[in-house]
Amino acid sequence: MAAGHQCWGGAGGGVAERAATHRHGGPESPSASRPPHLLSGDLYAFRLYLPDVKVFPLPFTYPPFAAVLFLPLAAPAWPVASAAWTLVSILALIALVHRSLRMAAPWLPAARHRQRVLLWSAVLLWSEPVSATLGLGQINLLLAALVLLTVQHRSPAPRGRRYRCRRRHQADPRSYRVVHLLAHGRWRAALWSLVAFTTTVAAGWLAAPGASRTCWFHLIGDTSRFGPIGSGLNQSLRGALSRALGHDAGWTAPWWALALLAAVAALSAATRSARRADLLGSLVAVQLLGLLVSPISWVHHWVWAVPPLCALLTLAALLRPTPKGDAVSS
């Protein structure tokens, strides 16, 4: 299994999950009965130290609502929670591949579709975004799978609520799914997303008012907490530009020029896809734009490379000539 040595040691060890469930002194210490960081008031003082000394300490960077979602994982033993989270992530990968293939090639026979889902899911376990997500216990696969399931929902209210709930769980600039809703004329769904956004902020504030105040008024724009911008793990435009310049590029003219080009290309692609009723194309376009213009887009955030990869593999199979020179039709 991909990154097998990492999965069981680090799965379920995502910062949001650890900060919500990890107890002072460690789960096996005498002080394990103390409350999780969300309830003890030191949510944003938390740091996750990984065995690899090359990886900087990981802070909690999400809104308090994200920690609220993970509170139930404080109940089971940590190995049980870790194993369960790994299983959920792998199932989410399969669901992500399933929805991507179904949206890219809805005409495929059911038997062939299942074969491709299982084959490509197994192969993609070895890709860097997926293996990093499993190794760090991140939630990216689950979020991506739920989003693809959401875009097919008929009712605008659930679609908008789920978009915004996922947006608020992650709470960073790479999630631009509302653009996808607007590109498809889903005005009511976009409105419901704003309602859901307000609800999640209120829920987090009720659970941890002090942490919410710190998050929304002091930390929301502080990129220094995320880690070194120029790290090779940061695959955003700002990260690439910072590595090229040898220092943090910040919001300088070169970054704005690159971001503008990316925005024009992505929004043009999203608009053309929307005109063709191509849900997958428009969604991928806005997601990749978010990954590019965000100051931090770690490698595990790039699980959004899975849907376009599935579409490209499907297209390649369709265009592969038969011995007679005809295109494959199935």
Residue 172: C-alpha distances to residues 76, 137, 165, 166, 223 (Å): 29, 18, 13, 11, 10
Let me know if residue 219 belongs to a domain.
yes
Let me know if residue 294 belongs to a domain.
no
User: How far apart are alpha carbons 261 and 217 in whole angstroms?
Assistant: 31
**pLDDT per residue as tens, the chain (330 positions):** 333 333 333 333 455 555 555 544 443 332 233 346 777 777 888 777 767 656 677 788 888 888 888 878 777 887 888 889 899 999 999 999 999 999 888 888 899 899 999 999 999 999 999 999 998 888 899 999 988 887 765 444 444 444 444 444 444 444 455 555 555 566 676 677 788 888 888 988 998 888 888 888 888 777 777 778 898 889 999 999 999 999 999 889 999 999 999 999 998 998 898 888 888 888 899 899 999 999 999 999 999 999 999 888 887 776 666 555 444 444
Let me know if residue 169 belongs to a domain.
yes
Let me know if residue 137 belongs to a domain.
yes
Let me know if residue 214 belongs to a domain.
yes
SS3 label, residue 192: helix
What is the pTM for the complete model shown?
0.75
Instruction: Count up the domains in the chain and report the number.
Output: 1
Strands of the chain, DSSP E = 47-48, 58-59
Let me know if residue 67 belongs to a domain.
yes
Cβ atoms < 10 Å from Cβ of 96:
29
The per-residue DSSP string of 194-217 comes to HHHHHHHHHHHHHH-HHHHHHIII
Let me know if residue 170 belongs to a domain.
yes
**Domain residues for 170?**
4-226
User: How far apart are alpha carbons 136 and 22 in whole angstroms?
Assistant: 15
Q: What residue spans of 125-221 are helical by DSSP H?
A: 128-136, 140-150, 156-170, 177-183, 187-207, 209-214
User: How far apart are alpha carbons 83 and 153 in whole angstroms?
Assistant: 30
Q: What is the model's pLDDT at position 22?
A: 56
